[in-house]
């Protein structure tokens, strides 16, 4: 569980990140979950976007993906959200946990 200072630090880092996944009318599939897991393992912090034609809101998609990947929702703004999952073997982002 992230505290507010850790969450704020991650939000600052993520502000410069590009969106790497989009969730559209296909919804949240096992393939998407697998790809998100791989990206979280390599990057630890990723930004995703929910398209207008999706049946999910950004909050719903963030919570569902976070629960399926074991990650944490850092931020949800509009149609975008940020997820974080620490890589215990090879940490990429240094924040005090």
SS (H, E, C) the chain: CCCHHHHHHHHHHHCCCCEEEEECCCCCCHHHHHHHHHHHHHHCEEEEEECCCCCCCHHHHHHHHHHHHCCEEEEEECCEEEEECCCCCCCCCCCCC
Give the pLDDT score at 49.
98
Determine how many CB atoms are found less than 10 A away from the CB of residue 93: 14
Average pLDDT by stretches of 10, the chain with 97 residues: 92 95 96 97 97 96 98 97 92 76
The CATH code of domain 4-84 reads 3.30.110.60
Tell me phi and psi for residue 27, to 5 degrees.
75, -155
| Stated pTM of the model | 0.92
Please state the domain extents for the chain: 4-84
């Amino acid at each position: 569980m992230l505290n507010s200072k850790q969450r704020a630090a991650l939000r600052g880092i993520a502000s410069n990140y590009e969106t790497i996944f989009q969730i559209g009318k296909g919804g949240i599939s096992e393939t998407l979950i697998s790809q998100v897991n791989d990206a979280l393992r390599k990057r630890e912090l990723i930004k995703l976007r929910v398209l207008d034609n999706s049946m999910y809101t950004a909050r719903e998609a963030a919570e569902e993906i976070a629960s399926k990947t074991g990650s944490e929702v850092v931020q949800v703004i509009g149609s975008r959200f940020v997820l974080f999952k620490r890589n215990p073997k090879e940490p990429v982002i240094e924040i005090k946990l």
